[in-house]
Amino acid sequence: MLRFIMQRVLLMPVLLVVFSVIVFALVQAPPGDFLTSYAATLASSGSSIGETELQALRQTYGLDKPIYVQYLYWMGNLLRGDLGLSLEYQRPNAELIGERLVLTLALAAFSFIFTWIIAIPAGILSARHQHGPIDYFFTFFNYIGVAIPNFMLALILMWLGFSVLGISVTGLFSPEFEQAPWNLARVADLMKHMWLPAIVIGISGTARLTRVMRANLLDELNKLYVVTARAKGMSEWKLVLKYPVRLAINPLISTIGWYLPQLFSGSLIVATVMNLPNIGPLLLRSLISQDMYLAGSLLLIYAFLTIIGTLLSDILLALADPRIRMRG
């Protein structure tokens, strides 16, 4: 077990180097560079920039060098812990990403907890009362949850919040805390705003997880070990929770690792609609403007989190299932 974790941890830097090459190649793939799109933006807003000025800027940013030189320059900075400078914002990338990353992770944690707290019990109830009113009730909501685009749900809830409750539910902070330094009051304000986006983002995942949990449990409920437990004289709920539920959750544990990357890209529209200061909109903006060091850093962090997430869910799975722990 320990060896397995060590192996995986040692493999991580190798994976990250491979990812960094791929990420850099992808970011560089669109024709032109940041300055081309910068010039285009200026042109569309009526002003313009001279060719000589562009050349000068290109030299300043090193955009005239060959790609591998640019890559080595970026990597060299990364190894020194420097994420580089955003070309568009003219600010250090670490500063731009920092708080947004924290908020993204917090949002992910919240919507993850919401998803599991709702979906697992709902899936269990659905399976235990298969084809009964409770099952149909959850099935109905599951279809709605999957079918409604989450940004639309966000719009509906925002409108309801505004028209019925008279509150503005966009963003993650009240205006007075928007730029405030971190303190307890700001955290409290964050919590007040966090639950709604967490639910909106988590709702389709909840619906999907409920269905999977229901299906997994239905498979397990017919297994012979359930009959054995019943024949021992265990009470029905106790035995269902101890045996089949435990086995039905096991395959879900391996999906925990995908949760974060899914949220990165999946919540983009919601984040835009609800004006959430998380990673999604920043990544989109940096890709559009070809702000390559920002985009590259974001994608690399994204890859890093995916690797960590997968490792975590593998460890969790090994802890939960002795067959994996002791045979692997």
Q: Contact at 8 Å (CB) between 24 and 17? A: no
| Distance in angstroms (rounded) separating the CA atoms of residues 117 and 220 | 21
| Distance in angstroms (rounded) separating the CA atoms of residues 110 and 115 | 9
The CA angle 104-189-269, to the nearest 5 degrees, is 35
Q: Which is nearer to another protein, 124 or 154 (CB)?
A: 124
Euclidean distance between the first and final Cα of the chain, in Å?
8
Q: Considering the complex, what minimum distance in angstroms separates the CB of residue 238 from another protein?
A: 9
Q: Is 271 exposed, middle or buried (0-12, 13-18, 19+ CB in 10 A)?
A: buried
Q: Which is nearer to another protein, 291 or 321 (CB)?
A: 321
Q: Considering the complex, what minimum distance in angstroms separates the CB of residue 223 from another protein?
A: 6
Q: Which is nearer to another protein, 190 or 317 (CB)?
A: 317
Q: Which is nearer to another protein, 27 or 124 (CB)?
A: 124
Q: Which is nearer to another protein, 54 or 256 (CB)?
A: 256
Q: Which is nearer to another protein, 91 or 246 (CB)?
A: 246
Q: Considering the complex, what minimum distance in angstroms separates the CB of residue 244 from another protein?
A: 9
Q: Considering the complex, what minimum distance in angstroms separates the CB of residue 242 from another protein?
A: 8
- Structure tokens that stand for 217 in this block: 């449990």
- Structure tokens that stand for 37 in this block: 């799109």
Q: Considering the complex, what minimum distance in angstroms separates the CB of residue 232 from another protein?
A: 4
Q: Considering the complex, what minimum distance in angstroms separates the CB of residue 294 from another protein?
A: 45
User: Which H, E and C letters describe 104-160, residue by residue?
Assistant: HHHHHHHHHHHHHHHHHHHHHHHHHCCCCHHHHHHHHHHHHHHHCCHHHHHHHHHHH
Q: Considering the complex, what minimum distance in angstroms separates the CB of residue 116 from another protein?
A: 19
**Contact set with another protein (CB under 8 A):** 222-225, 227-236, 242-243, 246-247, 250, 320-323, 326
Q: Which is nearer to another protein, 56 or 319 (CB)?
A: 319
DSSP 8-state class, residue 223: S
| Distance in angstroms (rounded) separating the CA atoms of residues 68 and 47 | 33
Q: Considering the complex, what minimum distance in angstroms separates the CB of residue 9 from another protein?
A: 26
Q: Which is nearer to another protein, 189 or 321 (CB)?
A: 321
- Structure tokens that stand for 297 in this block: 């850093």
| Distance in angstroms (rounded) separating the CA atoms of residues 46 and 35 | 16
User: Which H, E and C letters describe 298-313, residue by residue?
Assistant: HHHHHHHHHHHHHHHH
